[in-house]
Structure 1
Amino acid sequence: MKASSISSSVHVRQEGPVAWLTLNRPESANAVDLELATAFRDAILELEAVEVRVVVIEANGQVFCGGGDVEAMRGAESASQYLAELAGTFHQGLELLARSNSIIIAAVDGAAAGAGLGLVLNADIVVATPRARFLTAYAGVGLSPDSGVSYLLPRSVGTQRALQMSLTGRVLDAGTAKEWGIVAELVAPEELEGYVRVLAVRLASGGGNFLGATRRLIRSSTSMSYPQHLDAEVRAITTAAQHPDTLALLREFARHSKEPKAQAGAQ
């Protein structure tokens, strides 16, 4: 896949081992309706088939993602049934993302609320601009969290901070989000795309097989016992050792280790 529009609300383009997934409902703050949720899930399925090494999630417009589409919920015959289908479909995409071998980067310029915050928390590396804002937003419409927010937020910022954000509606500015560990790097808005492109290419060239295994091990570390996790590490490192990229790196490392070391100082 080189470039495609999964739907009008989600665009995907591939640049070698890097794929860019763009939320494209700027007129609706990139809010998640059923079309976008379905397109997001289908896009992740497509990307699995082409085995890209890095997926960048970005958005068109001034808002990264405003959460679930409240207007669509209000207009549904049954808000409950609509939400069940909406959240279920979006969650299918998030589950695919979690199991993916790809490194996930979120490029955030503007607010990430509700499901948008969930999307950010599902990323491995978050690069944001000072215009970014992070909030749960569910309490404002009388809903409990979805999109992994109630699971991932306390693991990211701690239980007390997660409760504060969820119960009081606290909005984190970009600097606080970096301080709390949600954001990895802050860059100027005009530098965001270039910075993320360089990062994505560097990660993709580093060998997706072991980086993908590393992300899965770290993300699963809280859901296993220590002995289970040690077993998972054995399986992962054994599999990595069979990959051509790893074998090439091992040979290169061994070659350099045999080279004579420069003598320190003049003799």
Structure 2
Amino acid sequence: MDDTASASAGNGTGRRRIQSADKATEVLLALVEAGKAAPLRDLARAVDMPNSLAHRYLASLMASGLAVQDEITGLYDLGPTALRIGASALGRLDPLRLASEAMPQLVASTGLPTLLNVLGDRGPTIVRWERSYVPFITTLSVGSTFQLTNSATGRVMLAFMPEQVRDHLIELAVSRNLEQPPAKLLERLEKIRKRGYDEAESVLIPGLAAISAPILDVQEEAVACLTLIGASADVGRIKAKAIKCLVETSTRVSQACGSNASFS
């Protein structure tokens, strides 16, 4: 039986997998990873198969509209069916649900309360609170807001939005809420974009520390923000671990939302 008809057990799950479908998927994913139209030889190399075999799978993908070939250059690219599938998948995403589902594990890993925030008309607003086993007393609650420029939550959201929108929101925060942005705010926002998180301590509420990371969409813009919060002493004791867990969680959720986020 050749590879186009054979089947094998898949990863011990009891389900059977069609090898030809697996190979065709590999070729399709190679087109995705290429990021642009690509020649046959590059796609074949990416999936480690002979050019002739890769060509057969590409022909099958083209027949279903998952791939197209430019008649002049001969380069292959994603087809209209692939675009419809991608658009449909993006339309079904719910970033807040995905972030909410990740919060219990984040609390379990760090021992710190976790907040889910979105940008509202009054500033970054808490929409979900996952409590931890560590006693923690604060006036914050679901519906509470943070300052846009003087909180880790606000700065993270500012760092991942279009510059024109960002600058307008900063101007509004200063004029409407009488905020006084920290010195070198734009430099700090650039740093946040590179490392994927920000932190704040005792700026708005004495004795309180926070670490925030964004939930990004396919346009690499912040649609929400996860924030670890707690007493400064509690956060300080596990700061490195907390940052690692938070950034890993926000990156995983962002990638599920179509982002290519990767921070270091």
State TM-score, norm by structure 2: 0.20
The structure richer in helix per residue is: 1
Which protein is bigger by CA-based radius of gyration?
2
State TM-score, norm by structure 1: 0.20
